[in-house]
Amino acid sequence: MVLQSLVNRIDRYLIGAAALKELEAWLVANLQAILDSRDSRAIELANQLDADLVELGEGIIDAKDFRERLEAYRRQGEMILEKGDARVTTIHAVVAHSSNTILEYGNKERSNSLQEATHVFAA
């Protein structure tokens, strides 16, 4: 969930829905929650983003390089999230073989999770 929020914030910046200052402020405000999540992929991505923001601010990299890095982070994060969804789908498929009722419950549960994720993205 934390990784999804982070990837969403990067995406918002890349599509022009958020300014650089908004991305930076969001990262600062949420850094402790990311660290507390113990999600190593989210922590690594947050650390990379933080370092890139520092490098951009100090003129070590330019806006084009920064944007390219964020595009790579977004692709990397999306791939990780897709793999997680594939695992859930596989589990549901195995359960479906045993019981249609459980599959129905599983799909409903997954649907609710996706709605919650969408709600987090919109925040």
What is the pLDDT of the chain when averaged over all its residues? 77
Of residues 120 and 11, more confidently modeled:
11
Q: Above 90 in pLDDT, residue 102?
A: no
- Model pTM? 0.66
pLDDT (tens digit per residue) in 19-76: 999 999 999 999 999 999 999 999 999 999 999 999 999 999 999 999 999 999 999 9
Q: Which residues contact 107 (CB under 8 A, 6 or more apart)?
A: 92
Q: What is the pLDDT of residue 62?
A: 97
Q: Reply yes or no on whether the pLDDT at 7 is more than 80.
A: yes
Helix intervals (H) in 1-123: 2-14, 20-37, 40-57, 63-98, 100-122
> Which of 6-10, 35-39, 99-103 bottoms out in mean pLDDT, i.e. has the lowest?
99-103
As a whole number of angstroms, the distance between CA 2 and CA 123 comes to: 13
